[in-house]
A and B are shown apart, each in its own frame.
Chain A
Amino acid sequence: MKETGDAIYFGSPGTGGSTDPNCVQSGDPTRVSKIWIRRECADKITLLPRARGRVLSRPISTQTPIGMKPIGENMGVIHRPFSVWGMPLGKTTTVIRLSDGRGIVQSGGPWRDEEVAAIREWGELAGSMEGSRAHDTFAWEMPAHFPSQRIGCGRWSRWWDGIHGRAPN
């Protein structure tokens, strides 16, 4: 486990984020968003399946679709872009580090592998986040939206993953 001080995703406002050499910057530099991801994490994450039944599953490269975007010193977002039939939908997960070292992760469900990986990475780096494991991180999650047991969003997600050869969540 790394020390809390190694939580590298957060930069000061206006600085453009982390300067840690273990991070790579990605995304469109003309956009406000600057997406960061730990270099050693990049090989573990694959792109999401896209619309029209095609799977774009490949290691993250400079077109990193997911990572941490710093917002202030103790806050960042994980933006997972995806589009459905040309609609640029996406999902943003917000992580906040409190001054006492605890963390809160705010997002709607269902969670996917990429988000789990990114949050876990952040949680481990945060160190003093309670438990420092993904499940504990999720313990701070806001109640999931559209719980799969109730309206089947998770079922569709699993179906989508299944036909694309992905492991279920």
Chain B
Amino acid sequence: MESLVGWNSRSGAELKVLKVGGMPRLQEHAVLHVPSRTLVLTDLVFNLDFPDGRSVPWPLRWISGLNTFPGTSRLVKLCVKDRAALPSLLTQMMAWDFDHGVVGHGEGITQNAKDMLRDVLAWESAAA
């Protein structure tokens, strides 16, 4: 597998990659595509599509710990091994300029992604 070390310098200003520390099992990386101002996440945030009025099935609520989406799954939170690493991650991520978000599970976030993700990922700050 291609190492991501040095990716930021190789891709120039077009792509930024940030390893989500503190969760070694997940090996999650946040990717910012600068031209489209899009942040790409994998499992850190779920945004499953439940239209208004349709409740989240209880097995999913139980497994994920989420009643609404977007949110961070309970399973992902259980993978956190170094809580102290998370707030700085959030700070770095929020310093990026993005307005759209793509997540590994669920719908893309088409506008105001930064504000939405800041709220969704507030648990990281609280976890420290």
- Which residues of A does B touch, CB under 8 Å? 32-33, 71-75, 77, 85-92, 94, 96, 98-99, 102, 104, 106-108, 138-146, 150-151
Contact = CB atoms under 8 A, between A and B. Distances in A.
Contact of B60 (A87, A94, A104, A107): A87
The secondary-structure label for the interface of chain A is: loop
A92 B106 contact: yes
The secondary-structure label for the interface of chain B is: loop
15 contacts: A33-B108, A71-B100, A73-B36, A77-B102, A77-B108, A88-B49, A90-B106, A91-B104, A92-B103, A106-B40, A108-B42, A108-B104, A142-B42, A143-B4, A145-B27
A85 to B, nearest CB: 6
Contacts of A106: 29, 31, 40, 42
Nearest to B46: A89
B4 A72 contact: no
A142 B102 CA distance: 15
B28 A145 contact: yes
Interface in B72-128: 100, 102-108, 110
A94 B29 contact: no
B14 A143 contact: no
A121 B100 CA distance: 25
Given A92-B104, A98-B15, A85 B59 contact: yes
Interface in B38-59: 38, 40, 42-43, 48-50, 57, 59
Contact of B57 (A87, A139, A144): A87
Given A85-B57, A140-B2, A143-B1, A104 B105 contact: no
B35 A144 contact: no
Given A96-B15, A146-B25, A88 B36 contact: no
Interface of B: 1-2, 4, 11, 14-15, 25-29, 31, 33, 35-36, 38, 40, 42-43, 48-50, 57, 59-60, 100, 102-108, 110
Nearest to A96: B33
A35 B49 CA distance: 16
Contacts of B2: 139-141
B59 to A, nearest CB: 6
B27 A142 contact: yes
- The 3 A-B pairs at the shortest CB distance, nearest first, are namely A72-B36, A143-B27, A139-B2
A152 to B, nearest CB: 13
A145 B35 contact: no
